[in-house]
Amino acid sequence: LSDITGVIPALITPFDENEAFDEKRMRACVRFLLARKVDGFYLTGSTGETFLMSPEERKRVVEVVVDEVAGRVPVMAHIGAIGTHLSVDLAQHAQETGVDALSSVPPFYWSFPQHEVLGYYADLTASTDLPMIVYNVPLAGLFGFDMISKLAQIKGVEGIKYTAPTHFEIMRIKAEISKDFVVYSGADEMAMSGLSFGADGIIGSLYNLMPELFIGIRDAIAAKDLARAQALQETANAVIFFGVSRSLMAVIKRGMAWQGADAGYCRRPFSNYYDAEAEEALKNDFRQAQE
């Protein structure tokens, strides 16, 4: 896992106007991002609207993207679900399809006790040979440091996607768990912070829309040029705050379309900016936000 680093879009999933998975648009978006030099892809995560898809659809997204990427950059598949059976099935399919790593949210909704969450990850890692990146995200309930330490002891758990704002814990993970335990910072608004606190890479939604800014942050942090990293983060954050105050995936998808990669529609209940009036309103808002 330690060789998967850098700027990794949590890939959007394009749907067509009837909300069906749009394979053609998916392939075009992958080509668009490869041309913009992203370092890898994270599939069927929250940004990929995964919990709005059937298992068969999630599998198809993985197959299409792995085929289109054709080994040029690493691919990680988020295979999380509430139930172990389904996650194991998705994990085994992802391995057969040829992904490089797996990731999963913890089982959610019923607030499972620690031993059941640990059991979930142990069952998953036992079911394939792929490295597992646990997903620490507020939407599924954040792990504390003790739980992260316990998770890291499970054979096959090799990293964490850290979408918590407590970045000092990134340093602590590296110091007290292992410097080889891979950390991906998950809050795009804090990419600079995550990388400067020692994260190996960044995984997020906005890297679909403006990867260059974050590739610039990656390089500026590596060169210890904090002033440049800060300027790029400020530019990025203006767009991020614009997006999160609306419907983020819909904003990202239309923004990609404006740049030449039509990322299609979101699935309901997410909204869209696809009719002329909504699109014009979005563009006007964006112009005003820039003034």
Please give the positions annotated as active site: 135, 161
Least Å from the CB of residue 29 to ligand NAY: 14
**Closer to ligand NAY by Cβ: residue 153 or 271:** 271
Give yes or no for a contact between 170 and 191, defined as CB atoms under 8 angstroms apart.
Answer: no
**Closer to ligand NAY by Cβ: residue 213 or 223:** 213
| Phi/psi-derived region of residue 267, left when phi > 0, alpha when psi is between -120 and 50, beta in every other case | beta
Least Å from the CB of residue 289 to ligand NAY: 16
**Closer to ligand NAY by Cβ: residue 229 or 240:** 240
**Closer to ligand NAY by Cβ: residue 117 or 140:** 140
Report the C-alpha gap between 248 and 260 in whole angstroms.
19
* Contact footprint for ligand NAY (CB under 6 A): 10, 42, 45-47, 78, 137, 139, 163, 186-189, 203-206, 240, 244, 248
Q: How many CB atoms lie within 10 A of CB 283?
A: 13
Give yes or no for a contact between 34 and 28, defined as CB atoms under 8 angstroms apart.
Answer: no
- Within the chain, how many helices (H) and strands (E) appear? 11, 8
Least Å from the CB of residue 184 to ligand NAY: 8
Least Å from the CB of residue 115 to ligand NAY: 25
Give yes or no for a contact between 117 and 132, defined as CB atoms under 8 angstroms apart.
Answer: no
